[in-house]
């Protein structure tokens, strides 16, 4: 079992729709959770961080964390073609600076 | 967030040679990290570079192959030694800033022939 799992996709949604990206993790000691966006040929760019159960909203992005079920998700409202990228989920263990990355989900927003 | 630069941005190297990648940050940071992203793959941590001490390497990575320097709080280098085609990857440095958050440099795309 991978430590951080994501569906590789591609996830294809029409422009204006809600894109839902999911991530599960295996280490119950994980405390910090991050979503990065990576455009082809570019480095990862931090979108959201979340540390507590529940929802965290930032503009069109909402991160959701459920530690009991060991999953974290990212919702993108009003998806735009410019949102087309690979979204990486990363988990940080308690008392460690190490980030464990999932394999990423490729999102395609159709005009 | 800090501004992070890497040199070179890309390089094509011959098998058996070595390449040193530089990472420069515009502010002092305690923690710097080096990652590898192989084609079509996600990021894998190579090592954590702490100023004033030896780097801490992850399982599967050794100092002889990936020596790291961290001479001060704004700079680090990663050397990829005795390269083979399997070392063709994007190499990324990252720095940790507020609330355990990591920000990435632009990366170095390495092709080994």
pLDDT in tens, A71-85: 999 999 999 999 999
pLDDT average, residue stretch B95-99: 79
**pLDDT given for residue A24 in this prediction:** 97
Determine whether the interchain pair A44/B106 forms a contact, defined as Cβ–Cβ distance below 8 Å.
Answer: no
Identify the sign of the CA torsion A80, A81, A83, A84.
Answer: positive
Give chain B positions within 8 Å (CB) of A3. none
Query: Inter-chain contact B105–A32, Cβ cutoff 8 Å?
Result: no
In this prediction, what percent of chain B has a pLDDT beyond 70? 97
Do A97 and B43 lie within an 8 Å CB cutoff?
no
Interchain contact, B100 vs A44, CB within 8 Å: no
- The CA radius of gyration of chain B, in Å to the nearest whole number, is 13
- What are the Cα distances from residue B6, in Å, to A92, B56, B93, B98? 24, 21, 8, 21
The residue ranking higher by pLDDT, A98 or A90, is: A90
Residues 6+ apart with CB under 8 A from B71: B51
Question: Rounded CA gap, B40 and B25, in Å?
Answer: 27
- Quote the pLDDT of residue B54: 86
Give the pLDDT confidence score for residue A67 in this predicted structure: 95
Mean pLDDT for all residues in chain B: 93
| Sequence-distant (≥ 6) Cβ neighbours of residue A2 within 8 angstroms | A26, A102, A103
Tell whether the model's pLDDT for residue B19 goes beyond 70.
yes
Residues of A in contact with B98 (CB under 8 A): none
Mean pLDDT of all residues in A66-74: 96
Among B1, B42, B96, the residue with its CB nearest the CB of A103 is B42
Reported confidence tier of residue B99, pLDDT bands at 50, 70, 90: low
pLDDT tops 90 at residue B33: yes
SS3 A110: strand
Mutate to test the interface with A, among B21, B23, B42 (most CBs of A within 10 A): B42
pLDDT at A95: 61
């Amino acid at each position: 079992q991978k430590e951080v799992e994501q569906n590789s996709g591609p996830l294809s949604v029409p422009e204006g729709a809600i894109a839902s990206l999911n991530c599960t993790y295996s280490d119950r000691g994980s405390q910090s959770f991050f979503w990065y966006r990576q455009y082809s040929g570019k480095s990862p760019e931090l979108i959201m961080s979340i540390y507590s159960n529940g929802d965290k909203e930032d503009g069109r992005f909402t991160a959701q964390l459920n530690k009991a079920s060991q999953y974290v998700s990212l919702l993108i409202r009003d998806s735009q073609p410019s949102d087309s990228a690979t979204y990486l989920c990363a988990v940080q263990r308690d008392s460690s600076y190490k980030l464990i990355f999932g394999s990423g989900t490729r999102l395609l927003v159709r005009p | 967030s800090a501004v992070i630069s890497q040199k070179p941005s890309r390089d094509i190297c011959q098998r058996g040679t070595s390449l040193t990648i530089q990472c420069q940050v515009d502010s002092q940071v305690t923690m710097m990290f080096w990652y590898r992203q192989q084609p079509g793959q996600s990021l894998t941590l190579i090592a954590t570079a702490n100023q004033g001490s030896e780097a801490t390497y992850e399982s599967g990575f050794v100092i002889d192959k990936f020596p790291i320097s961290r001479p001060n709080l704004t700079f680090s280098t990663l050397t990829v030694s005795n390269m083979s085609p399997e070392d063709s990857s994007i190499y990324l440095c990252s720095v940790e800033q507020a609330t355990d958050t990591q920000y990435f440099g632009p990366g170095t795309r390495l092709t080994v022939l």
